[in-house]
């Protein structure tokens, strides 16, 4: 009997206080009825191990109590797919740049590498873990509030098939995107080539930042990258449809960009800063800081281009001849 009371007490703990006594009284009666029946079959009282086996058969107290409780969830099945989608996007946008910068620093900054390898990696992983908690908590909290919003009518009634996103062919290239890419490529490319040619990065108010002569050798590779990218963007603008060859060309162009950026970052050629107003070691510090910032940007750029090249290769392999495939549009 002691086992029975222990069991009932454990079940009671999980029940809502307003129903505890009622449910426990009924459960006690049910178990005792079962025991009485068993005892009359056996012609004797139940032994302790028989009690134990009978109660085990009833189930763990938490699971028994759970069946009396209303079904509750932080985010219900209706909102869960949207929650999962937003969570993935948030984590990707928040963590990927962090990881990219971290890898870039480890690869291209000997000083950073010296302080962040070995056991110090765990410290960085701790920071990464804390950084993941922030978007996770915010997204979960927002969806939990939405879940509890009383009026979910907009989800079930306030919608129209007409308002759903237009059907989009997954292989169709947006002309707007190609146009923006073409303009940005041209403007940025010419600006950067001019810098490589004149070797002057910045000149204003007596401060002049110039590239070392070693940078000059990167002029022609960057020129080639600019030509290829501009040609591809132009072609995409005129014939806005992905083919396997076009995807492969895009993969190749991204790979070419990644390789060029990698070699620039690896060179780590210091920039020269002339600033009469700044004296002594501070000029050297400024020069190092600008060089480091630029090198880091190239390193991150190289990693991103490499990733894009891999994605384009994968997409090129996936393109099938036949009926067009629908893209995955976001719609609620």
Partner 1 sequence: MSPGAKSDSLLDNLRLELRRGCLVLAVLAELHTEQYGYTLRKALVERGMEIDEGTLYPLLRRLESQGLLVSEWREEDKRNKRFYRISREGRQILKLLLAEWQIIGASLEEILEESGNGTLRKVPTGS
What does the binding site for partner 1 look like in residue numbers (CB under 8 A)? 23, 25-27, 29-30, 32-34, 58-59, 63-64, 67-68
Please, are residues 39 and 31 in contact by the beta-carbon 8 Å criterion?
A: no
CB of 64 to partner 1, least distance (A): 6
Nearest residue to 32 via CA among 44, 46, 22, 43: 46
CB of 227 to partner 1, least distance (A): 57
If the CB atoms of residues 63 and 74 are measured against partner 1, the closer one turns out to be 63
Q: Is 205 left (phi over 0), alpha (psi -120 to 50) or beta?
A: left
CB of 25 to partner 1, least distance (A): 7
Nearest residue to 55 via CA among 4, 116, 129, 9: 4
The rounded radius of gyration (Å) of the Cα atoms in the chain is 33
If the CB atoms of residues 57 and 204 are measured against partner 1, the closer one turns out to be 57
SS (H, E, C) 255-319: HHHHHHHHHHHHHCCCCEEECCCCCCHHHHHHHHHHHHHHHHHHHHHHHHHHHHHHHHHHHHHHC
If the CB atoms of residues 28 and 266 are measured against partner 1, the closer one turns out to be 28
- CA 81 distance to own-chain centroid: 16
If the CB atoms of residues 23 and 311 are measured against partner 1, the closer one turns out to be 23
CB of 33 to partner 1, least distance (A): 4
Kindly state the DSSP code that residue 70 receives in the 8-state scheme. P
If the CB atoms of residues 58 and 244 are measured against partner 1, the closer one turns out to be 58
């Amino acid at each position: 009997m002691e086992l029975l009371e222990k069991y009932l007490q454990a079940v009671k703990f999980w029940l809502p206080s307003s129903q505890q006594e009622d449910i426990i009284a009924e459960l006690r009666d049910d178990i005792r009825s079962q025991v009485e029946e068993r005892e009359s079959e056996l012609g004797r009282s139940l032994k302790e191990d028989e009690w134990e086996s009978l109660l085990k058969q009833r189930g763990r107290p938490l699971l028994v109590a759970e069946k009396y409780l209303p079904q509750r969830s932080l985010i219900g099945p209706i909102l869960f797919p949207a929650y999962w989608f937003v969570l993935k996007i948030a984590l990707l946008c928040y963590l990927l740049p962090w990881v990219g910068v971290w890898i870039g620093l480890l690869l291209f900054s000997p000083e950073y590498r010296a302080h962040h390898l070995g056991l110090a990696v765990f410290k960085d992983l701790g920071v990464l873990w804390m950084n993941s908690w922030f978007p996770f908590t915010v997204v979960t909290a927002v969806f939990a509030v939405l879940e509890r919003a009383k009026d979910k009518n907009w989800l079930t009634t306030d919608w129209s098939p007409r308002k759903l996103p237009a059907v989009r062919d997954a292989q169709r290239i947006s002309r707007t995107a190609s146009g923006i890419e073409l303009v940005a490529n041209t403007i940025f490319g010419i600006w950067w080539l001019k810098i490589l040619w004149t070797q002057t990065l910045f000149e204003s108010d007596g401060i002049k930042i110039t590239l070392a002569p070693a940078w000059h050798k990167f002029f022609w590779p960057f020129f080639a990258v600019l030509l290829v990218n501009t040609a591809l963007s132009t072609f995409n603008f005129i014939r806005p449809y992905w083919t396997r060859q076009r995807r492969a060309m895009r993969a190749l162009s991204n790979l070419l960009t990644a390789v060029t950026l990698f070699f620039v970052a690896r060179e780590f050629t210091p920039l020269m800063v002339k600033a009469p107003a700044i004296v002594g070691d501070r000029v050297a510090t400024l020069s190092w800081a600008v060089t480091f910032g630029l090198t880091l940007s190239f390193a991150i750029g190289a990693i991103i281009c490499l990733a894009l090249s891999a994605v384009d290769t994968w997409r090129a392999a996936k393109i099938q001849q036949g009926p067009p495939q629908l893209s995955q549009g976001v719609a609620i």
